[in-house]
Structure 1
């Protein structure tokens, strides 16, 4: 059994070293063919989770064999319990938080309707200017035209009324009556 435990431990350590050194390269090379193994429904069985459990099983087996007087069955059950616990911890504290932290910077132009912006390049009554708008975690610039056909100066707060062919049609946010 000691040979099995050493094999599990060495496999896990080698996987960790290869992942650190060549992780991005391997990820690009294997992107797609192995996705069915841990798609959207099997996050708990990702290689990081499984191999960390196997590594913990190997390490626990080696330590328990060396430092306890337990029988091989008790050591195996305890090592498997350690593997399951390590896998759960890696999943809960590493994999799941990383999945939850993924942010998309994509947005639809139609999502900009009703959003506030600031004019960065003055918008003439019959022409185009530019607005800066906060989208997601950053700012984005867009071509804009006046919805009301009035001049809008730089620094003016505006709101998008509609989007036509990639152009934001805006009106002043602080309209005086």
Structure 2
């Protein structure tokens, strides 16, 4: 029985190393062939972790405890199942729910407030930095009103045309009058 435990332990360890080194390549070649739709609990990483833990627990229980082989087998199976549940609930399930994107559309920048980093000439292009949820983003800017805008000036994005943010100087005094 110990040879089965060793096979599970070594096989799982080899799978872990191979998937760590060649994981993206294998995933691209197999394209999820071994994943069962709707059954996230049977993902390869969960099964491999369970089998490896089963093997390691079996070796330790047969060598370092005085329980019978059947008891060691049952206890090893339970420990392997517990490891699978731990991997699933601590890794797989949270990762499935964390698939969010920090991407944004250029059209979403209309109405955002930014700061000119490279001066915008009357007819030409400068650069504006805008704070978004993911951090700061810098874009090419032109003056909406065809007036020069100095570096450091606060601006509002009026619209986006062909990937260029058309900006106007932000005047807080105008808002006080409204």
Other-structure match for 1:68: 66
Change (3 A) 1:145 1:42: farther
TM-score if structure 2 supplies the norm length?
A: 0.79
Other-structure match for 2:55: 58
Q: Number of paired residues?
A: 173
- Partner Cα distance (1:30, 1:100) in 2: 20
Q: Residues 102-144 of structure 1, C-alpha deviation per residue, up to 9 Å, x if partnerless?
A: 6645322112122221101222333322112234544332111
- Partner Cα distance (1:43, 1:116) in 2: 43
Change (3 A) 1:126 1:17: closer
Other-structure match for 1:118: 115
Other-structure match for 2:31: 34
1:10 is paired with a residue whose SS is helix
Change (3 A) 1:84 1:173: farther
Aligned CA-pair RMSD: 2.7
Measured after TM superposition, the shift of residue 51 of structure 1 is 0.8
- Partner Cα distance (1:175, 1:69) in 2: 79
- Partner Cα distance (1:68, 1:100) in 2: 44
Change (3 A) 1:44 1:173: farther
Q: What are the ranges of 5 or more consecutive residues in structure 2 without an aligned counterpart?
A: none
Other-structure match for 2:125: 128
CA contact (8 A) 2:19 2:26 kept: no
Other-structure match for 1:173: 170
CA contact (8 A) 2:110 2:159 kept: yes
Other-structure match for 1:13: 13
Residue 47 of structure 1: which of 44, 47, 69 is its match? 44
Measured after TM superposition, the shift of residue 64 of structure 1 is 2.2
Change (3 A) 1:98 1:175: same
- Partner Cα distance (1:162, 1:77) in 2: 67
TM-score if structure 1 supplies the norm length?
A: 0.79
